[in-house]
Amino acid sequence: MIYLTILLLLLGCMVLLDARWKLFLFARPLAAASVLVFGVAFFLIWDVAAIHAGIFLHRDSPLMTGVMLGPQLPLEEGFFLLFLCYQTMILFTAVDRFLRQNRRRGRKTARWQP
């Protein structure tokens, strides 16, 4: 349960960052939601394939809920994948915005220099 709580807190922090600077979900909700759904689905399929190949195995832990989405696939994995995809898109859009703003400032500064 501790791991799920931490994941939910981290997701909440990502939502707050996104809401404050309108980076991803708060900038373009429909497009962002579809990217998140696609990303999570992609990694869930990847996990299922790895479980089927015997690469991923779940071990019981007192830090986890014990709720399983499928064989060897704990509930926390779904939330982790959601967090991973959301965090990645927040970082990507923040860096993209930062670089665009710096380029615009650089052009303005370059125009006024002799």
* Band of residue 114 on the pLDDT scale cut at 50, 70, 90: very low
In a domain, 42, yes or no: yes
Q: What distances in angstroms separate CA 8 from CA 1, 14, 16, 81, one per listed residue?
A: 11, 10, 12, 12
The pLDDT value recorded for residue 15 is 98
Evaluate if residue 113 carries a pLDDT over 60.
no
Does the pTM exceed 0.75? yes
Q: How many domains does the chain have?
A: 1
Structure token pair of residue 21: 């600077």
* Cα–Cα distance for residue pair 44/103, rounded to 1 Å: 37
Tell me if 113 is assigned to some domain: no
Model confidence band, residue 105 (pLDDT cutoffs 50, 70, 90): confident
Question: What is residue 104's predicted lDDT score, i.e. its pLDDT?
Answer: 82
Residue 107 confidence class, pLDDT cut points 50, 70, 90: low
Residue 95 lies in a domain: yes
C-alpha torsion 91→93→94→98, nearest 10 = 140
- State percent of the chain over pLDDT 70: 93
Measure the CA–CA gap between 100 and 107, rounded to whole angstroms: 11
List pLDDT tens digits, range 34-71: 999 999 999 999 999 999 999 998 989 999 999 999 99
23 pLDDT band, cuts 50/70/90, is: very high
- On whether residue 43 sits in a domain, the answer given is yes
Q: Where are the beta strands (DSSP E) in 1-114?
A: 68-70, 73-74
Beta bridge partners of 40: none
Backbone angles phi, psi at 30, to 5 degrees: -70, -45
What is the domain range of residue 82?
A: 2-102
Torsion over CA: 40, 41, 42, 47 (sign): positive
- Could you tell me if residue 111 is inside a domain? no
